[in-house]
Amino acid sequence: MTPDDLAQLRRDYRLGGLRRADLHDDPVEQFRHWFEQARNAELLEPNAMVLSTSNGRRPSSRTVLLKAFDQRGFVFFTNYASRKAQEIDATAQVSLLFPWYGLERQVGILGRATRISTTDSLAYFLSRPFGSRLGAWVSQQSSVISSRQVLEMQWQQLRQRFADGEVPLPRGWGGYRVVPEEVEFWQGGENRLHDRFRYRRNPQTATEGETPEQGAAGAVDWIIERLAP
């Protein structure tokens, strides 16, 4: 494929627009609505999200799976020695992106990532399939390994070790919760006139370190703005 071929790759977005009147006042509830639509549309991995982090000098991105969300934030799980975890420890500000191409939509989230409790991590870990629990023990995520064979041998050894099915939570594995500070909903439009709405926390009602369910009236006051495409 030549550069000219790439230049001609385009698609006109015609599935629908987005109006302010369509939006819920709470971005988490609006996300819930769109997420259910993504699930009902049978999109591939609707809970897949691109997580971007930074070590303060350069960014990095990868796809992870959303495993829970509510008014407190958006939760994913990882090895705490992984590159993403080290960068979160260095700079807690992260971004999430849900690319729902089949619906001509995307949702972007900016916020701070913090570790969830060991109790909550354990509850999710015990819900995972047996093989996935072993995988969390085997993989020293982001570290250099000599071959895939090494991983498979270690997995088989652990399969024998935990043959009774009781796999404990690895010490260095658990979840992060991303507390949203900005949430953007993007809907593709004809002639590249896309619809974009950004929710941002009202700085007059939010304080540093405050969680989304907190605030003067027990809920976050969100400012909703339409952005140019």
User: Which residues have a catalytic role annotated?
Assistant: 192
200/222 Cα distance (integer angstroms): 6
Q: What angle do CA 66, 210, 76 make, to 5 degrees?
A: 15
Q: Where are the beta strands (DSSP E) in the chain?
A: 48-54, 59-65, 68-70, 73-79, 93-100, 105-115, 173-187, 195-201, 222-227
224/200 Cα distance (integer angstroms): 7
Which one, of 109, 103, 111, lies nearest residue 195 by Cα? 103
Q: What is the CA radius of gyration of the chain?
A: 20
Residue tagged 């992060």 (tokens): 176
Return the amino acid letter for 31: F
229/214 Cα distance (integer angstroms): 32
